[in-house]
Chains A and B, each alone.
Chain A
Amino acid sequence: MPKTKFEPSIISRPVYGELKPKNGKSHLLIADVEGAQAILDLAKKAPTGFFNQAHIIYIPRHTGETYLAKLQKLNAKQHYVGPSFGAAQQRIQRVLSDAHNGLQIYLAGSEGLIGQAMREAIGLGFPHQAIQTEHRGSKARRMQCVHCKGVTEDVSTDPFECSHCGLSLFVRDHYSRRLAAFQGVCVDAEDPGNVPDKMEIT
């Protein structure tokens, strides 16, 4: 699967690159869904011994077993497969807070995974510019409702219903790294009930 292409957008909208092996004492690779392929592609370019100092945290979700055997073959020093970001979160926090100078961080997969892992790293003082990211798979977004503040995961249409308060929200490109979420704003405030047809987010 090729890397995701996004239309140019506003400055707060995250942009993603392509994972490349960097020199470092250790490597933390966090991915979900098709992000596994970004790790596999990075492995083709990685120097010998790269994975001897690597920790892979992978959340397959709907991709099931598609990538598990291939990732396993990379023989990372530590290899974890978990059911959700929430389940992996404390492990990620522990790894980041134990980290020494020279840790390289690589994030790949959905915007929700990249954003939330990024937030953990920034919270512990890692500069966001130093963290590599690569988007793969669905363009679904993690959205915060500006009204009730609830977060709805995996939003794939615009507009969508807030999973907390039920308002119909339109999907903005304005993004908060601190919340790891885009902003959703009531779509029919000025004309209640007039909700536009849902469009797939592209």
Chain B
Amino acid sequence: MGIEFNKETYRGDYTFTNSPTAIKRFPFPFDKDSYMYAVNMEPHTPVREGSVYYNSFDVDEHYVSEMADRAMVLDEDPLRCQSLPHMELAGWDLLELIMAAKAKDYPDLFKLTCDGDKWHWVNKPLGIDETFTFMDASTLPYGPMEYITRQTQGDFCLLDQREENLWMDAGMITTQADWSLDFDIGMNFFEWHAPVPLAHEKGIFIRALKFLLNIQQGAPARRLNWTMTVNPLLDTSPENYHKWGIQKTTLTPENVGSKQYLRVELQSFFRLPRSNGMVFPIRCYLIKLEDLVTYPKWARRFHRVIRDLPVELATYKGFIDNRPMILDYLAQFDDGAETSPGVWPED
């Protein structure tokens, strides 16, 4: 497979960059020239080898640097990773799910050997070689959820299922689009989504919850969500908003192409076998406008989506003030030509 891992930063000098391969496999979220909320779920099954949809937990060139950034966030604020006491079993479920999937999908990078409850885990990119007892948290340096999610790209919401609802009772949240695990932990599906505009009225969350409650073991689902971020900043947390919010004002017509990023979340949903809980990984992909517009189809379509997005959504997604500048930049790549259906750049 041979992934070459970038040495790059998501803060300070922002040396994050996407290779041509990473640009081509970017999960562009718009399959047509307009956008409105939809439940838009599909089975999380392999699509197109090499795409971000091919493996259960996509590992890409950003893996090592992204994990280093997570470790820094956790050093600064340990509350970004929390688990209510009844969630440890779900944490073991998650650890098993990820270790088994990564060892199967990336045998040159990860190796898992199980001899009864004596497990041996090798993570070559991060230089980890661990022997531990499955279901005995005292044999790991962290709780099971924290241990494995310090080694897996994306945020993780670990959900308990009861009273016909899903409860955000644990999580590892360091790359979030402006929501706080520390505040939302313990909330049910409707409560933690309460601040999202328009979608409640459309019945989106009622339908989404119904879908999620019925997800079966071995049949995960996925969807995409998106927002906009200035600079390749993973940690756009509300906790640090008073520090990063100002960066939104640094856009100029000259730098918008290189500083404005489209931020896409690949959200997936897995049933967990022992706890009957769910895990909801939220994997963040970033691409600067300059790289996005290298594919003419994406450039045309993205211009139209941003131009026609309702004001409420542009406000909620936090780029209403910068929208005119972003549109001026994108307009030069939109000649009005028709775009082909679907998300793939060259179809």
Contacts and interface: CB of A to CB of B under 8 A. Distances in A.
Interface of A: 10-13, 144, 146-147, 149, 167, 172-174, 176-179, 183, 185-186, 189-192
B183 A174 contact: yes
Contacts of B183: 144, 146, 174, 176, 179, 183
Nearest to B190: A11
Nearest to B185: A178
Given A146-B183, A147-B239, A183-B183, A174 B195 contact: yes
Given A10-B194, A146-B238, A185-B241, 17 more contacts: A10-B195, A11-B193, A11-B194, A12-B187, A13-B194, A146-B180, A146-B183, A147-B242, A174-B195, A176-B183, A177-B186, A177-B187, A178-B186, A178-B187, A183-B180, A185-B238, A191-B249
Interface residues of B, number: 27
10 contacts: A10-B194, A11-B190, A12-B194, A146-B180, A146-B183, A172-B195, A173-B194, A186-B241, A189-B242, A192-B246
B248 A146 contact: no
A26 to B, nearest CB: 26
A105 B34 CA distance: 51
Nearest to A177: B186
B223 to A, nearest CB: 21
Contacts of B79: 149
**Chain A at the B interface: mostly helix, strand, loop or mixed?**
loop
Contacts of B245: 186, 189-190
Give the most central of A13, A177, A189: most B CB within 10 Å. Answer: A189
Contact of B242 (A12, A13, A167): A167
Given A146-B183, A178-B186, A183-B183, A189 B241 contact: yes
A11 B184 CA distance: 13
Contact of A174 (B186, B190, B194, B242): B194
Nearest to A190: B245
Interface in B190-248: 190-195, 200, 238-246, 248
A176 B186 contact: yes
A12 B183 CA distance: 12
Nearest to A146: B238
B187 A189 contact: no
A186 B242 contact: yes
Give the most central of B180, B184, B246, B248: most A CB within 10 Å. Answer: B180
A11 B243 CA distance: 29
Given A146-B239, A186-B242, A189-B246, A11 B186 contact: no
Contacts of B182: 149
A10 B199 CA distance: 12
A192 B242 CA distance: 9
A147 B182 CA distance: 11
Contacts of B185: 178
A176 B249 contact: no
Interface string B292-329: 00000000000000000000000000000100000000
Contacts of A192: 246
B249 A190 contact: yes
A106 B180 CA distance: 31
A182 to B, nearest CB: 10
Nearest to B247: A190
B107 to A, nearest CB: 42
A167 B187 CA distance: 26
A115 B321 CA distance: 36
Contacts of A146: 180, 183, 238-239, 241
B200 A190 contact: no
Given A189-B246, A192-B246, A147 B195 contact: no
Nearest to A176: B183
A94 to B, nearest CB: 22
A190 B184 contact: no
A176 B241 contact: no
Give the most central of A10, A144, A177: most B CB within 10 Å. Answer: A10
